[in-house]
């Protein structure tokens, strides 16, 4: 009898363990696609506090504000008008249900011109293909060092196009070994709620089901920021984030 | 035939047969025969790894064994699944045969010796252990091996074409130097994926790390060397151009200059 009891206890323990481990893996990454008809949106601005002097803006130029951004360094590009920060990836990380994941048919392009990658930061959804071009009349290489996504290292001559698909969420650094200074970032995200800020630091994320979420902000030099946001149905939530 | 002559003949034959047998035994590990490679980690594999590999590559395959500090090039860190010498395309995992070949041949110009002191079975048993160190082998599968076309005959014309590719099209000289001495303008700033400085290969030594045959050289620039700045030029060249480049690279060998000949 005792033996049976013991076996029973063992069986219960094992099955519990199984359930726990199963729920662990399922709790990690589940994103269900639903119809979002009455979603809200976030519009915001990412700023850099230690930044650009606004005084030197020449308003006599009229509409021609060609160089309205100021590069504090290669990595930190700040708008002279409002101190907005360029190339920041803004995303909702803890969202569990939302709009359909759609991979764009026209691939995002990363070009190498005058020994630098343009654009510097690209954010894509999992499963998206990226075209990497070479616009310089000399040899470049494109090299990534990932573990989960298959890494690659190709030589690329003039006008060469390399298409690569990224299957797992990861922040990937793309480098050229011939010109050590140049590199670009590809941020692969596992849900479609993200944006990269423009040269005035603005971003916009649409069709979010109402609820409270964490807004995650990533910049290559200045690091991460986090903010709680609450989305109401058919309303625009305004957010301001400041790197100080 | 006089008995004495016969005796000497027999002695000669037996000596010849003994030497040929000895030759076969020494050559055996160098011919990559089909060995059965276990799919699961075995006790034998673990034991072999901890006895022969762990002193340099570390107990957990991180390339941090007790001898690693004094070595350059550094022992390979297996946790990323980046293997240099493969028959698979750039970035792909190696096939089991690729790993087996590297273990059996060793890597010239480094401290990785040819492990022919181990039996074939022991060498094969280590492979699942190496693969267990990296999560890459769980998420990804090795791609199909790249095709190696029929080798062309080296001639003045193909050498000239190879030289043109080396100097103009692929600009190999930027790292490997115009004469292939590994002293190009970008040579000094190269580092591998793990942050250690790495030298572009000096072709004049003639001791190619992935093997000296023309197929080996062909495969190196077609597949690239994972974990190093050496890229793959799979998309750039036709099969004929690749053989031309291979022959040109092989023509850069100057063994008479090499002090360790």
pLDDT digits (tens, 9 = 90+) for B62-103: 999 999 989 888 999 999 889 999 999 999 999 999 999 999
Q: Residues B224-240: pLDDT tens digits?
A: 999 999 999 988 889 99
User: What's CA A164's distance to the chain center, in Å?
Assistant: 17
The answer to whether residue A114 sits within a structural domain is: yes
The predicted-structure confidence for A30-69, as pLDDT tens digits, reads as follows: 888 898 888 899 999 998 887 554 555 555 555 555 566 7
- State residue A182's pLDDT score: 86
Q: What is the tally of helices (H) and strands (E) in chain A?
A: 1, 20
Which pLDDT band, with edges at 50, 70 and 90, does B249 fall under?
Answer: very high
Cα–Cα distance measured from residue B257 to residue B250, given in angstroms and rounded to the nearest whole number: 15
Let me know whether A210 and A161 are in one domain. no
A174 within a domain of the structure (yes/no): yes
In a domain, A15, yes or no: no
Q: Flag if A139 and B171 touch (Cβ within 8 Å).
A: yes
Determine which of B91, B144, B232 to mutate to test the interface with A (most A C-beta atoms within 10 Å).
Answer: B91
Per the prediction, chain A carries an average pLDDT of 82
CATH number of residue A234's parent domain: 2.60.40.1120
In a domain, A236, yes or no: yes
Could you give the CA distance from residue A112 to residue B235 in angstroms, rounded to a whole number? 17
Same domain, A114 and A184: yes
Helix (H) or strand (E) holding A70, with range, is strand A69-71
Strand partners, A71: A77
Instruction: Identify whether residues A94 and A107 lie together within a single domain.
Output: no
Is residue B157 classed as helix, strand or coil in its secondary structure?
helix
- In this prediction, residue A244 has a pLDDT band, given cuts at 50, 70 and 90, of confident
Q: Chain A: nearest CA to B106, how far in angstroms?
A: 24
A184/A173 same-domain check: yes
A162, A190, A218 - which closes a domain: A190
> Quick one: which H or E segment has residue A187?
strand A183-189
Spell out which residues of chain A touch residue B236, defining contact as CB-CB under 8 Å.
155, 157, 160
| pLDDT for the residue numbered B229 | 92
| Residue range of the domain that includes A46 | 32-58+65-99+202-244
User: Tell me, what CATH number does A153's domain have?
Assistant: 2.60.40.420
Would the CB atoms of B136 and A148 count as touching at under 8 Å? yes
Burial class (CB in 10 A: 0-12, 13-18, 19+), B5: exposed
- Asked if the Cβ–Cβ distance from A155 to B193 is below 8 Å, we say no
pLDDT exceeds 90 at position B251: yes
- Kindly identify which residue of chain A lies nearest to residue B184, measuring between CA atoms: A178
User: What is the tens place of the pLDDT at every residue in A75-129?
Assistant: 888 887 788 889 999 999 889 888 999 999 999 999 999 888 999 999 999 999 9
A156 contacts B95 by C-beta, under 8 angstroms: no
Same-domain status, A106 and A85: no
Long-range CB contacts (< 8 A, 24+ apart) of A139-142?
A: A139/A178, A139/B170, A139/B171, A139/B174, A140/A112, A140/A115, A140/A176, A140/A178, A140/A179, A141/A176, A141/A177, A141/A178, A141/B229, A141/B231, A142/A112, A142/A174, A142/A175, A142/A176, A142/B231
Same domain, A165 and A142: yes
In a domain, residue A20? The reply is no
pLDDT by residue (tens digit) across A159-217? Answer: 889 999 999 999 999 999 888 888 999 999 999 999 999 988 999 999 999 999 999 99
Question: Do residue A73 and residue A106 come from a single domain?
Answer: no
**CB-based contacts of B189, cutoff 8 Å, min separation 6:** A180
The total number of structural domains that make up chain A: 2
pLDDT, tens digit, 9 for 90 and up, residues B190-230: 888 888 889 999 999 888 999 889 999 999 999 999 999 99
Do the domain assignments include residue A27? no
Nearest CB partner across the interface for B226, out of A151, A168, A180 = A151
Over residues B8-46, the pLDDT tens digits come to 666 666 656 655 555 554 544 455 456 788 999 999 999
Residue A197 within a domain: no
Q: Which tokens hold the place of A160?
A: 């060469």
Q: Is A36 on the interface with B (CB under 8 A)?
A: no
The DSSP bridge pattern shows strands A183-189 and A121-125 to be parallel
Do A123 and A175 lie in one domain? The reply is: yes
Question: Which one of A144, A157, A180 has the shortest CB-CB distance to B169?
Answer: A157
Residues of chain B positioned with their CB less than 8 A from the CB of A151: 82, 91, 226
Claim to verify: residue A108 and residue A179 sit in the same structural domain? yes
Q: Which domains does chain B have, with CATH numbers?
A: 43-139 (1.10.760.10), 156-257 (1.10.760.10)
pTM comes to 0.79
Claim to verify: residue A88 and residue A166 sit in the same structural domain: no
pLDDT higher at A201 or A17: A201
Best of A154, A163, A164, A168 to disrupt the B interface (most B CBs within 10 Å) is: A154
Binary contact (B174, A139; C-beta < 8 A): yes
Which residue is closest to B167 within chain A, CA to CA?
A139
* Confidence (pLDDT) at A84: 87
Q: What's the pLDDT score for residue B228? A: 92
Are residue A111 and residue A185 in the same domain, yes or no? yes
Nearest by Cα to A200 from A120, A80, A118: A80
In a domain, A17, yes or no: no
Average pLDDT across chain B, whole number: 86
pLDDT at A148: 86
Sheet of A109-113: strand order equals A116-118, A109-113, A129-134, A161-165
A165 and A208, same domain (yes or no): no
């Amino acid at each position: 009898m005792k033996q049976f009891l013991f076996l029973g206890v063992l069986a219960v323990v094992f099955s519990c363990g199984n359930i726990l481990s199963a729920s662990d893996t399922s709790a990690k990454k589940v994103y269900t696609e639903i119809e979002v008809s009455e979603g809200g949106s976030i519009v915001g601005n990412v700023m850099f506090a230690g930044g650009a002097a606004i005084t030197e803006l020449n308003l006599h130029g009229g509409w021609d504000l060609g160089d309205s951004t100021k590069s504090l360094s290669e990595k930190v590009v700040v708008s002279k008008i409002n101190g907005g920060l360029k190339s920041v990836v803004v995303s909702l990380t803890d969202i569990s249900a939302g709009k359909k994941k759609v991979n764009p048919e026209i691939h995002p392009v990363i070009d190498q011109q005058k020994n630098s990658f343009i654009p510097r930061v690209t954010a894509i959804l999992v499963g998206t293909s990226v075209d990497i071009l070479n616009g310089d009349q000399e040899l470049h290489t494109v090299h990534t060092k990932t573990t989960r996504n298959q890494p690659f290292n190709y030589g690329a001559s003039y006008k060469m196009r390399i298409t690569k698909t990224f299957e797992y969420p990861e922040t990937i650094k793309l480098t050229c070994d011939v010109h050590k200074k140049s590199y670009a970032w590809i941020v692969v995200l596992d849900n479609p709620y993200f944006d990269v800020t423009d040269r005035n630091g603005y971003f916009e994320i649409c069709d979010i089901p109402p609820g409270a979420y964490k807004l995650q902000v990533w910049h290559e030099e200045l690091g991460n920021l986090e903010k709680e946001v609450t989305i109401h149905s058919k309303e625009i939530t305004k957010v301001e984030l400041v790197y100080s | 035939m006089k008995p004495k002559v016969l005796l000497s003949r027999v002695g000669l034959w037996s000596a010849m047969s003994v030497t040929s047998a000895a030759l076969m035994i020494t050559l055996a590990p160098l011919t990559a025969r089909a060995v059965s490679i276990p799919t699961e980690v075995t006790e034998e594999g673990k034991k072999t790894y901890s006895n022969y590999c762990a002193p340099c590559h570390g107990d957990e395959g991180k390339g941090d064994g007790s001898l690693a500090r004094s070595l350059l090039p550094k022992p390979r860190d297996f946790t990323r699944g980046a293997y240099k010498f493969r028959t698979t395309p750039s970035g792909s995992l190696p096939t089991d045969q690729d790993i087996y070949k590297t273990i059996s041949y060793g890597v010239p110009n480094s401290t990785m010796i040819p492990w022919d002191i181990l039996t074939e079975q022991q060498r094969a048993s280590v492979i699942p252990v190496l693969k267990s160190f990296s999560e890459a082998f769980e998420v990804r599968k090795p791609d199909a091996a790249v095709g190696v076309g029929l080798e062309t005959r080296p001639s003045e014309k193909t050498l000239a074409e190879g030289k043109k590719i080396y100097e103009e099209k692929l600009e190999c000289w930027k790292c490997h130097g115009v004469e292939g001495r590994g002293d190009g303008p970008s040579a000094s700033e190269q580092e591998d994926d793990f942050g250690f400085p790495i030298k572009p290969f000096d072709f004049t030594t003639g001791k190619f790390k992935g093997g000296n045959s023309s197929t080996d050289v062909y495969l190196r620039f077609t597949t690239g060397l994972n974990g190093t700045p050496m890229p793959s030029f799979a998309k750039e060249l036709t099969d004929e151009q690749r053989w031309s480049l291979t022959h040109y690279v092989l023509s850069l060998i100057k063994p008479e200059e090499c002090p360790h000949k």
